[in-house]
Amino acid sequence: MRVLLWILLAGLCLPTGLLAGKLEPFRDVPVPEQNPQTPAKIELGKKLFFDRRLSGDGTMNCGTCHDPEQGFSDGIDISLNYPTTRNWRNSPTLIGVAFQRSLFHDGRAASLEEQALFPMMSAFEMNQNLDFMEEEIRTVPEYVAEFTKVFGDGDVTRERVAMAIAAFERTLVSRDTPLDRFLSGDTKAFSPKALKGYELFIGKGKCTECHYGVSLADDRFHVLNVPENPEHLKDPRIAATRRFVAKISHFEEFRTLSEDPGRYLITKDQKDWKAFRTPTLREIAKTAPYMHNGIYATLDEVIEFFHAGGGKGNSALNALQLTSLEKEELRIFLEEGLTGAPIAFTPPKIP
Ligand code: HEC
Ligand code: HEC
């Protein structure tokens, strides 16, 4: 018993550098047993993903904020929104999303099937009534034929819509990056500067304490105290969105909530106040701006943030003492090393 206790204590006292995880090359995405991938389902999901019928006023589809041309994100600090409202968080890329075990910046959804209906219902995103969405899809004979082919009968349900969209999302992956080739034994995969950057990433930069595995993300939540954008704090439309989400998350003081509480919204555990999920770093060069609130426009700014030991008062990070050459090498690794073969994508024909 006593020995066990000592082992436990020793584990807690280890310098955090020793807790770094291992990077892994690309492998096939996990697929849930209840929703196997089939070519017809993926094709249906792709059509639904890009169908504006999924939004209340018919102006938006999922691709509006997860645009293939913008790395399946939308290129702005806080995401686009339903007309007259304003969103409150950055749109995450959907590349490699199938590897994430919890979804959203605060991890409030557990599966792609569960997640897909949220943006449709969300007043500040697609603002669509799900019964109405089902009826709209049901009126399109091509869709009924496709649902029959995929699910055995033509019944259009929200669950099936979500299953098809999830199947499509599982095809969005980053592969064949220099990092994948390097980890599979190709010692010449990186340019000399990217190789230096890789060594900093796993060494002096301590990035693999949190960014590891296939996605370079640990599926955990950390309080880095990323600065707030003062302009966002003043915008009453953002305040309305924040308080709306807080209210439906049973956050009692939602009316006075003046900043994004992050993971706390879900756990109500003080240690999760302003904790956000570690994001994937694959294809990171394509998905600026960065962080849950899009506060940083460039990778240089993000590297500067980690170099300085993160935001004021955080205890997750320490200052790094990187030279300006090392910062550049780290950026080149992120840009070159994590960019893979272009994702083959043909826009669907919407029925
Ligand atoms: C108006 C912009 C907008 C639209 C439209 C939109 N999204 Fe999103 N999406 C976001 C934002 C912003 C987030 C992050 C929200 C958060 O963390 O609270 C997000 C998060 C996600 C995530 C989680 C990603 C991750 O890494 O955790 C998935 C999956 C996703 N969206 C899929 C979809 C699908 C499917 C649709 C269409 C049914 C859709 N989105 C429509 C803006 C949008
Ligand atoms: C203690 C865990 C931790 C460590 C160590 C860490 N990160 Fe992060 N990283 C995160 C979290 C959490 C976020 C998201 C913060 C947010 O959205 O507010 C993030 C965000 C990022 C982003 C922005 C991604 C995006 O899509 O917005 C980049 C780039 C990044 N980190 C690179 C690095 C590099 C390079 C290092 C090493 C110098 C590093 N990180 C070290 C946890 C960590």
Q: Is the CB of 206 under 6 A from ligand 2?
A: yes
Where are the chain's structural domains?
19-25+175-337, 39-169
| Residue whose CB lies within 8 A of the most ligand 2 atoms, among 226, 306, 336, for a mutation test | 306
Q: How far apart are CA 178 and CA 337, in angstroms?
A: 5
Q: How far apart are CA 146 and CA 272, in angstroms?
A: 44
- What confidence category does residue 2 fall into, taking pLDDT thresholds of 50, 70 and 90? low
Give per-residue pLDDT as tens, 46-70.
999 999 999 999 999 999 999 999 9
Spatial contact of 90 and 276, defined as CB atoms under 8 Å apart: no
Spatial contact of 133 and 161, defined as CB atoms under 8 Å apart: yes
* Distance, C-alpha 7 to centroid of its chain: 35
- Which residue CA neighbors atom 18 of ligand 1 most closely? 104
Strand partners, 67: 73
Give 177-210 as a DSSP string: -HHHHHHTT-TTSS-HHHHHHHHHHHTTT-GGGT
In the reported structure, the alpha carbon of residue 234 is separated from the centroid of ligand 1 by a whole-number distance in angstroms of: 24
Give per-residue pLDDT as tens, 178-213.
999 999 999 999 999 999 999 999 999 999 999 999
The pair of structure tokens assigned to 93 is 């890329």
- DSSP collapsed to 3 states, 246-289: HHHCCCCCHHHCCCCCECHHHHCCHHHCCEEECCCCCCHHHCCC
Ligand that comes closest to the CA of residue 318: 2
Q: How far apart are CA 225 and CA 269, in angstroms?
A: 16
Give per-residue pLDDT as tens, 272-330.
999 999 999 999 999 999 999 999 999 999 999 999 999 999 999 999 999 999 999 99
pTM listed for this prediction: 0.94
Domain 39-169 in CATH: superfamily? Cytochrome c-like domain (1.10.760.10)
The pair of structure tokens assigned to 344 is 């083959």
Instruction: Say yes or no: do domains 19-25+175-337 and 39-169 share a fold.
Output: yes
The pair of structure tokens assigned to 85 is 């409202």
Q: Is the CB of 306 under 6 A from ligand 2?
A: yes
Q: Is the CB of 165 under 6 A from ligand 1?
A: yes
Q: Is the CB of 279 under 6 A from ligand 2?
A: yes
Q: Is the CB of 100 under 6 A from ligand 1?
A: yes
Residue range 19-25+175-337, CATH number: 1.10.760.10
- Which residue CA neighbors atom 9 of ligand 2 most closely? 278
